[in-house]
Amino acid sequence: MKLHRILFLAPLLLVSCRNNPVDEIQGVFEADKTALKLVMQQEVKSDNLLATALLDKVIENSVIEFKIYGDSIKGLMFLAGQSTLINGVIQVNKDTMNIKSGTFEGLIIPKKPGFVIKNKSSSVEIQMIPTKGTDLSENTKTAIANFARKQREIAEFTDNLGRWQEGTFVDEFGDQTNKPFAFCIIRGSHETSAVVANDVFVKAIVDGGSIYFQIFNESMTIRETFPENEFGYIKIKFPGGNVESERIFLHDNIISESARDDKSVIYNHLIKEDGELKLLLDLSSASSYYSDKFQFNIAKSNLSEVLAQIDSGH
């Protein structure tokens, strides 16, 4: 009976005595930048001196560092302007170590003196080597904090799309004035004869009984350029399905209603109605040199509350 029990327990003891591969890679690790440069050179495949100099700068400015404690992994991959925050658990499947953190799915492959990490969707393998530290470096912690702040700002920006807010005009020196206005940011699309439907952001401003539009690229850093001091037309589709064209004026890359008989169709609808308007701006209506088309939707949403707040002076 005792022999039977010993034979029964023997396989379990063998399994329990096997080393967990994660136990072999505990501590803080950073990218081997010399090895990383060789890998990136193979990916770029260029003998151009400028490309080589740029690659050297990219490697120099990269931040790739992880701390592994138990089966948890935390750190940052910043390379070529792309940041990936890693904060997850290492899962062992036979001899494979898998990481899943947000949208990142990667593999860890033991390779002395540390390990290789790679994104499952990429062929680039990054050699990680141990450091003498017991925690992530201050530079990495700062980079992680900045990345987290940026993510919060993006989430806040996305959550506020289409909602009206209060802003303040600035003077010619860029200083804030005490003149407030209502504005909202809307996601739209932009297409030309050469480019089909890339994203843009539209800033709608309501001030002094008028509405104005500015259109920016997807990073909100550059305003789209329009014909200067020209009249054109914008098409408006109402909630009921009927379509109307309204004259607009383009100046200093700003679009403003220029309706006849003081009938500002978009402004009046936003003030009085709740339904969403679909707007289509075709710049060829203002200049034959332009083929750009911009499409976006706009609604009253919380505009009344923001205007009331502005009128009350808080």
Do 80 and 139 belong to one domain? yes
Based on the fold, state whether residues 110 and 174 are members of the same structural domain: no
pLDDT score of 49:
66
pLDDT digits (tens, 9 = 90+) for 242-256: 999 999 999 999 999
Q: Give yes or no: residues 236 and 278 share one domain.
A: yes
Res. 170 pLDDT band, cuts 50 70 90: confident
With a cut of 80, say whether residue 77 has pLDDT above it: yes
Q: Are 236 and 299 within one domain?
A: yes
Domain shared by 128 and 246, yes or no:
no
Q: Are 281 and 293 in contact (CB under 8 A)?
A: yes
Residue 7 forms part of a structural domain: no
pLDDT at 167 over 50: yes
The overall average pLDDT reported for the chain is: 87
Cβ distance 307 to 165 under 8 Å?
no
Which of the listed residues 106, 121, 154 is the one where a domain comes to its end? 154
Within-domain flag for 6: no
One domain for residues 48 and 144: yes
Indicate whether 300 pLDDT > 50: yes
Report the half-sphere exposure of 17 (CA within 13 A, side-chain side): 6
pLDDT 10s digits, 25-39: 999 999 999 999 888
CA quadruple 262, 267, 273, 279: dihedral sign? positive
Ordered DSSP codes for 87-120: EEEEEEETTEEEEEETTEEEEEEEETTEEEEEET
**Do both 132 and 209 map to the same domain?**
no
What is the mean pLDDT of the segment spanning 41-58?
A: 75
Of the ranges 62-76, 78-92, 154-168, 186-200, which one carries the lowest mean pLDDT score? 186-200
Distance CA 129, CA 205 (A): 53
User: Domain range holding 270?
Assistant: 165-312
pLDDT given at position 40: 84
pLDDT tens for each residue of 96-133: 899 999 889 999 999 999 999 999 988 889 999 999 99
Is position 132 within any domain? yes
Residue 2 lies in a domain: no
Query: Do residues 135 and 78 share a domain?
Result: yes
- pLDDT confidence of residue 47: 64
199 and 87 within one domain: no
> In the chain, how many domains are there?
2
